[in-house]
């Protein structure tokens, strides 16, 4: 209960910040987008999103946290006009009937092109509340927002769901990527997954790339976008601006 009121305070006071992790073109290595990730820094240390996101979901704070993350990351992204922005959305938010209208009004208020925005969602919501998920996704796709199916391969998401819900991109979970270091079958599973997505004309991002051998396998297997510590860690907005200047 105490953590809950601290979280509520952190959201309203702006103590929850966005960091940004680069998404690069697999063929050229150019940064084409950034994924916003939430960070909560307190006087006594950082609280992991693995703790405070589920907490926010349980205690009814995820809508406020989600809108805060959308706003702050868009405000920063206005400094990087050539890049796409990806924001994570909790299944709980997507099931809220007011979600789509709220996202659209934030974009209008901040004058941000919806075509630059990708919302990353995990598969859970597609099973628990498919009707509401579809309504939200359809409404947001109509204004030009894109959707990525996050953490693909670590749960039950089917290739069918990719097509059914109109996903624009698939993100391969980092557990599948790290399996490349553990034996030959890892690469076969990845190649099969990527070729199914490619057959549906859905581009694939691989996340969690930590070494150049993984990057080479994924590039050869047809991923068009790469992400991970090898390419860039999540960084403050200031560090991202510095990196972009270096790359230019």
Binder of ligand G out of 22, 33, 124, 234 (CB under 6 A)? 234
**Interaction with Na ion in 171-230: which residues (CB under 5 A)?**
none
- Give the H/E segment covering residue 109: helix 99-110
Q: Which residue has the tokens 């990525």?
A: 148
Binder of Na ion out of 18, 38, 92, 120 (CB under 5 A)? 120
Residue 24, classed as helix, strand or coil, is: strand
Binding mask 212-231 for ligand G (x = CB under 6 A): ----------------xx--
Question: Which range touches Mn ion (CB under 5 A), out of 73-81, 144-152, 210-218, 235-243?
Answer: 144-152
Binder of ligand G out of 22, 150, 169, 176 (CB under 6 A)? 150
Query: How large is the greatest C-alpha to C-alpha distance in the chain, in angstroms?
Result: 50
88 binds Na ion (CB under 5 A): yes
The CA-based angle 134-109-139, given to 5 degrees, is 15
**Interaction with ligand G in 105-124: which residues (CB under 6 A)?**
none
Closest CA to 151 of 63, 245, 75, 50: 50
Question: Which range touches ligand G (CB under 6 A), out of 1-9, 84-92, 100-108, 126-134?
Answer: 84-92
Contacts of 201 (CB under 8 A, 6+ apart): none
Going by their DSSP bridges, the two strands 204-206 and 146-152 should be labelled as unpaired
Q: Which of Na ion, ligand G, Mn ion, none does residue 222 bind (CB under 5 to 8 Å by kind)?
A: none
Binder of Mn ion out of 36, 151, 165, 221 (CB under 5 A)? 151
Give the dihedral sign, CA 91/176/224/196: negative
- Give the H/E segment covering residue 61: none
Q: Which residue has the tokens 């697999």?
A: 26
Q: How far is the CB of 206 from Mn ion (least distance, A)?
A: 10
Exposure letters 198-212 (e unless 16+ CB within 10 A, then b): beeebbbbbbbbbee
Binder of ligand G out of 90, 118, 214, 225 (CB under 6 A)? 90
239 binds ligand G (CB under 6 A): no
Residues that bind Mn ion (CB under 5 A): 150-151
Residues that bind ligand G (CB under 6 A): 21, 37-38, 48-50, 53, 69, 88-90, 150-151, 174, 207-210, 228-229, 234
Residues that bind Na ion (CB under 5 A): 88, 120, 150
């Amino acid at each position: 209960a105490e953590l809950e009121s601290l979280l509520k305070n952190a959201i309203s006071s702006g103590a929850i910040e966005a960091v940004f992790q680069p998404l690069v073109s697999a063929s050229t290595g150019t940064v084409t987008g950034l994924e916003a990730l939430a960070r909560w820094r307190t006087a006594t240390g950082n609280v992991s999103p693995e703790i405070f996101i589920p907490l926010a979901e349980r205690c009814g704070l995820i809508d406020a946290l989600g809108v805060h993350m959308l706003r702050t990351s868009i405000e920063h992204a206005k400094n990087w006009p050539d890049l796409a922005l990806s924001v994570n959305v909790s299944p709980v938010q997507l099931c809220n009937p007011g979600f789509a209208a709220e996202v659209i009004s934030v974009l209008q208020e901040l004058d941000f092109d919806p075509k630059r925005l990708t919302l990353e969602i995990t598969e859970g919501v597609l099973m628990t509340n498919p009707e509401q998920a579809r309504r939200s996704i359809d409404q947001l796709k109509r204004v030009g927002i894109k959707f990525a199916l996050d953490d693909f391969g670590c749960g039950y998401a089917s290739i069918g769901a990719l097509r059914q819900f109109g996903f624009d991109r698939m993100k391969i979970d980092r557990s599948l990527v790290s399996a490349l270091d553990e034996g030959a079958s890892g690469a076969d599973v990845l190649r099969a997954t990527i070729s199914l997505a490619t057959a549906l004309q859905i581009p694939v991002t691989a996340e969690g790339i930590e070494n150049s051998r993984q990057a080479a396998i994924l590039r050869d297997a047809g991923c068009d976008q790469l992400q991970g510590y090898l390419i860039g860690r999540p960084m403050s907005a200031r560090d991202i601006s510095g990196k972009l200047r270096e790359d230019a």
